[in-house]
Amino acid sequence: MKKKAIIFDLDNTLYAVDSIGEELFSVLFNLIACDDFPNTELQNIKRDIMQKPFQTVAAQYSFSKTILEKCITHLELLTYNGILSAFDDYKHVKKIEADKFLVTTGFTKLQQSKIKSLGITNDFKEIHIIDITKHFTTKKDVFADIILRHKYNVEDVLVVGDDVDSEIKAAQQLGIEALLYNKKTPKEINNSTKTISDFNELNFL
């Protein structure tokens, strides 16, 4: 079915976080190391920070209150000022005629700086940054609001992202079709979740 709107995630969906992660998060990783995590666990934390929202990782690994506060203070001011490149297949996204929305979770200044560096602002009808340090909105809330405000039917909308526990889950809870963008590494996924590895596979839209 032809879609009227497609909602995209940002991190690891439109570009690879690990392409800038070591540079971008060097101070953050040093702060986290002060919590004296075993080296193996610290490496897992670094990996997960490049794949999941920071607060999710902090809760999963039980960051101390002191370190958590220092990390959040740092991240609230952090921006990326380098050159950031989208995945090569992003060119197919630009050609899609459906309304396109960008919905991302993260710290406002940092997400804004990455979007600016990618040069993709004008590719989207709306851009939503969910900063849970400022409000308690979820991706599910934003998806529902987009559908309501633009008077889409649920079947007219598609969600594309890399995180089964975030945008994919939120879409499925609302009855929205979802595609897992699995660009780099295999992931354990629910058999009911459709998967793509290249945006050219959206050509049916």
- Residue from 158, 175, 204, 168 nearest 189 by CA: 168
Closest CA to 102 of 198, 7, 199: 7
Is it the case that residue 183 has pLDDT exceeding 90? no
pLDDT tens per residue across span 24-50: 999 999 999 999 999 999 999 999 999
pLDDT tens digits, residue range 50-85?
A: 999 999 999 999 999 999 999 999 999 999 999 999
* Span 159-166, average pLDDT: 94
The percent of residues above 90 in pLDDT, for the chain, comes to: 88
- Structural domains in the chain, sorted by start: 5-16+85-202 (3.40.50.1000), 21-77 (no CATH)
pLDDT at 185 over 90: no
The confidence score (pLDDT) of residue 193 equals 81
Strand 99-105 to 157-161 pairing: unpaired
Strand order in the sheet with 177-181: 126-130, 99-105, 5-8, 157-161, 177-181, 194-196
State the average pLDDT over residues 156-178: 96
What does each C-alpha distance from 2 to 34, 158, 159, 200 come to in angstroms? 51, 10, 13, 15
Residue 112 pLDDT greater than 80, yes or no: yes
> CA 203, 101, 188: angle at the middle one, nearest 5?
65
149/134 Cα distance (integer angstroms):
22
The pLDDT-based confidence of 135 (bands split at 50, 70, 90) is confident
> How far from each other are the two terminal CA atoms of the chain, in whole angstroms?
8
Average pLDDT value over all residues in the chain: 93
Residue tagged 């190391």 (tokens): 33
Q: Of 5, 59, 62, 58, which is closest to residue 28 (Cα–Cα)?
A: 58
CA–CA distance, 30 with 67 (Å, rounded to integer): 10
For the stretch 137-151, pLDDT in tens is: 999 999 999 999 999
| Confidence class for position 20, pLDDT limits 50, 70, 90 | very high
Residue 126 sits at φ, ψ, to 5 deg, of -145, 150
Report whether pLDDT(109) > 60: yes
Residue 111 has pLDDT above 60, yes or no: yes
